[in-house]
Amino acid sequence: MIRAEGLSYAVGGVPIIRDLSFAAALAAPLLILGPNGAGKSVLLRLLHGLLRPDAGRIEVPGPQAMVFQRPVLLRRSALENVLFPLHGPEAAPRARAALELVGLSAMADRPARRLSGGEQQRLALARAAALAPRILFLDEPCAALDPAATRAVEEIIAHLAAAGTRIVMTSHDLGQARRLAGEVLFLHRGRLLEHTPAADFFTTPRTAEAAAFLRGELLWA
Amino acid sequence: MLLQGDPGFRRIVGLSLRVSLTAVAVAAMIGLPVGAALAVARFPGRGAVIAAMNALMGLPPVLCGLLVYLLLSRSGPLGQFGLLFTPTAMVVAQAALIAPILAALSCQLLQSLWEEYAEQLRSLGISRLGAVPTLLWEGRFGLITVLLAGFGRAAAEVGAVMIVGGNIEGFTRVMTTAIALETSKGDLPLAIALGLVLMLVVLGVNLFAWALRGWAQRSGH
């Protein structure tokens, strides 16, 4: 269960998130949708604790992990990247298992930064998965990837979700949102306009903004 | 003279290398962590500290030598150790001269690395100061160039080692002080020979570092 109450966040006096409240059980992946500049990524960072809200309360249980739009990999081998945040005798087998999960076992000893874009993002997913997070935040994880790599990443996310990891992610790709989402938060100009099951959101949006967004007519907040 | 390998000549070259390489090692142990900490830390007066460090990059060697002289002279605070006019004093002077250079350059280098890594490392639960060892390791290939800059400055300076070393034949005479002395005595062939060796040494060290970087890049880090 994650909960946000009266969340507000501004940068230089410009409000990015305005008085936002919601609670979600996360039984199925929660997709944060909205036009560019709606505040999706900022909301994700607030929930994960990378940003501190100006007002409001957040309850998110740990352990958490996050995967960013552009994978941030260390200048080391793929395996060492997964091992980096791990400790203890279980570290090595967990790292190996995570690489196996994302299909990069054969690349374990390759320098991480020499991998392709899709492989790098899968490696970032492996690093996050190896932490065995209760909640996994994903910020536009496929925004820079080609369709094949996108599909591979989606399969990993779906697999993690099926295995019990709670997923909270942003996406600008409506097809991807349809494929993955169980619930949708629809943001517009920093406000939460809809919080509905995905099936309802995509068929019968309640707000005019959401309907325009689904028709592809609302691209900028 | 170069080819015959005159023992006095060899001793001068050897001491030069020993003093300057030790000075780089000592300065690195202080300067690199300080530079990395300044790259990640946020505190009031940080800008002033960085500006002061940048200013110290231009510290005249003779002034640095004078300060170390006062520190190590019989009546100085560290006079009891009797270090003045020893190779150790020369190491201290050169390390003091280049530590600010290493700190300022590494700070600049690691700041851009920190911008790339900050969110990811915080997401993995690593504090700002906890990120210092990671940043130093991630920046290792760039830091080689920083160390080279420090070595070049240390090996080429004459004022500081002249003051604290005393240019004692067979004991604290290094290439630069020998060149200065032989030139004033009119023994130009010896001065020129020493100058050539000094340049060869600096060139050799740079080539080695260049090869190391090239190897690192080819191996994909």
In the sheet that holds A183-188, the strands lie side by side as A64-67, A135-139, A166-170, A30-33, A183-188, A191-197
Helix or strand (DSSP H, E) at B125: none
Chain centre to alpha carbon of residue B77: 24
Q: Which of residues 114-133 of B touch A (CB under 8 A)?
A: 116-117, 119-120, 122-126
Stretch A28-53: mean pLDDT, rounded?
95
* Of the partner residues B117, B123, B138, the one whose CB lies closest to the CB of residue A65: B123
pLDDT digits (tens, 9 = 90+) for A70-80: 999 999 999 99
Cβ distance of A48 and B125 shorter than 8 Å: no
d(CA A194, CA A34) in angstroms, rounded, equals 10
What is the model's pTM? 0.88
Amino acid identity at B37: A
Q: Which residues have a Cβ under 8 Å from the Cβ of A163 and sit 6 or more positions away?
A: none
Q: Report DSSP letters for B133-196, one per residue.
A: HHHHHHTHHHHHHHHHHHHHHHHH--HHHHHHH---TTTT--HHHHHHHHHHHT-HHHHHHHHH
Domain boundaries, chain A: 1-62+134-221, 75-133
pLDDT at residue A11 greater than cutoff 60 = yes
Exposed e or buried b for every residue in A45-83, given b needs 16+ CB within 10 A? bbbbbbbebeebeeebeeebbbbbbbbbbbbbbbbbbbb
Q: What is the pLDDT of residue A67?
A: 97
Distance from CA of B112 to the nearest CA of A (A): 13
Average pLDDT per consecutive 10 residues, chain B (221 residues; last block may be shorter) = 73 94 98 96 94 93 96 93 96 97 96 95 94 95 92 94 95 95 92 92 88 78 58
d(CA B161, CA B181) in angstroms, rounded, equals 13
Cβ distance of A50 and B124 shorter than 8 Å: no
Q: For chain A, what is the mean pLDDT?
A: 94
Q: Which of residues 102-131 of A touch B (CB under 8 A)?
A: 110-111, 113-114, 131
- Say if residue A63 is preceded by a cis peptide, omega within 30 of 0: yes
pLDDT digits (tens, 9 = 90+) for A108-161: 999 999 999 999 999 999 999 999 999 999 999 999 899 999 999 999 999 999
Cβ distance of A111 and B220 shorter than 8 Å: yes
Structural class in CATH, domain A1-62+134-221: alpha beta
Q: What is the pLDDT of residue B2?
A: 60
Q: Which residues have a Cβ under 8 Å from the Cβ of B47 and sit 6 or more positions away?
A: none
On chain B, the residues whose CB falls within 8 A of the CB of A125 are none
pLDDT at residue A221 greater than cutoff 80 = no
* Token reading at A53: 């809200």
Q: What is the pLDDT of residue B171?
A: 95
Partner B contacted by A50 (CB < 8 A): yes
ipTM of the complex: 0.91
Cβ distance of A50 and B125 shorter than 8 Å: no
* Of the partner residues A68, A110, A131, the one whose CB lies closest to the CB of residue B120: A68
* Token reading at A19: 């008085």
